[in-house]
Amino acid sequence: MHKKLQLNAALPIFGVAKTFFRKPDKSAIGYQDSGFFVIESSLKDSLTTYQKFFEFDAAKNIPSSWLYLPAQKAHIEMMLEKDFPLPVPGLVHTANTITITHEISADLPLEIEAIAKIEERKNDSLAVIFNLNFKQNGTLKATCESVNYWINKSAPRKKEAREEQDTELYDRQSELWHFQENLSNEYAKISGDYNPIHLHAVFGKLFGFRGKVLHGWCSTSKMISLFESEFQSKINSFQVKFIKPFILPKNVFCEYKISEEKLIGFRLVEPQSQDVFLIGNAQI
């Protein structure tokens, strides 16, 4: 696959909806495909809007978290291919790692080399793993690994303690963030992700959630911006795991700590319930 991507274009929701009737089975295990994408237009418009919304310092060049926006567009294009065996609705973004290796220019085309593969996980679930290389003029600039799960709801499942990894002690805390119900609608304008579960509570409930679901990358971007401001340093590498759906509206704060090696450990928490929505770490 060789295709141009448009940063200002919405994700093809109707195309995604058409994949709903795909019938996944064991034959999906081992699937692998590759693609090449290019963004020829300037990155500046998308970057400026993103930086302003999340209060990034524009002088620090491209935020590492911004790279998921073009990455997600590449993911969707690969999953819309006829031979991709899984329905796109119902795939859950569970983890992501991004690393910038060299400074990215907003004035040059951005090339994306992508590989998608499907692996079997517990309880007959399947993991769709995307590995992307971002290049400019043939030089590697950044990498992105995204993990999405397709869960076989008909298979017997054990209730797992998904927060068992989060046993760290955090000695710092952000101010209380008030995430209003329209936040996901505003983020959709920036990312192009108009998935109905993020826009309307009725669609969230239709897919088994308690209401409107916030994009996981919206809260991730908020925290990366916090760390760059707090430590006056650009975050070039981070990883995040999404623990549970974030239903809007909600008040939350970020708990974090920093090690001697300048590794930030963090999590997003609701103060009253102590529910944890995501955990991760970032390198200064």
62 and 169 co-located in one domain: no
Per-residue pLDDT reduced to its tens digit, 28-43: 999 999 999 999 988 9
**Which residues fall within 8 angstroms of residue 145, CB to CB, at 6 or more apart?**
96, 97, 129, 130, 131, 132
138 and 263 co-located in one domain: no
129 and 175 co-located in one domain: no
CATH code, 281: 3.10.129.10
Residue 160 lies in a domain: no
* Residue 258 in tokens: 């920093």
Number of compact structural domains in the chain: 2
72 and 140 co-located in one domain: yes
3 and 142 co-located in one domain: yes
Expressed as residue numbers, the domain containing 210 is: 165-284
User: Where are any strands of DSSP class E within 163-261?
Assistant: 172-173, 177-179, 237-242, 250-258
Residues forming a β-bridge with 114 = 35, 132
Per-residue pLDDT reduced to its tens digit, 64-105: 999 999 999 999 999 999 999 999 988 999 999 999 999 999
- Kindly tell me if the per-residue pLDDT of 263 is higher than 60: yes
- The predicted model gives 113-141 an average pLDDT of 94
- The predicted model gives 227-240 an average pLDDT of 96
214 and 242 co-located in one domain: yes
150 and 208 co-located in one domain: no
- The predicted model gives 178-189 an average pLDDT of 96
97 and 181 co-located in one domain: no
Cβ atoms < 10 Å from Cβ of 51: 20
- Kindly tell me if the per-residue pLDDT of 122 is higher than 90: no
- The predicted model gives 109-123 an average pLDDT of 94
Domain boundary pick from 113, 133, 154: 154
130 and 6 co-located in one domain: yes
Average pLDDT over the chain reads 92
**What is the reported pLDDT for 1?**
74
State the pLDDT confidence band at 152, using cuts at 50, 70 and 90. low
177 and 150 co-located in one domain: no
User: How many whole angstroms separate alpha carbon 271 and alpha carbon 254?
Assistant: 10
Residue 28 lies in a domain: yes
71 and 211 co-located in one domain: no
Cβ atoms < 10 Å from Cβ of 100: 21
**What is the reported pLDDT for 133?**
98
State the pLDDT confidence band at 61, using cuts at 50, 70 and 90. confident
- Kindly tell me if the per-residue pLDDT of 151 is higher than 80: no
**What is the reported pLDDT for 58?**
83
- Kindly tell me if the per-residue pLDDT of 168 is higher than 80: no
Residue 159 lies in a domain: no
* Residue 267 in tokens: 């999590």
244 and 268 co-located in one domain: yes
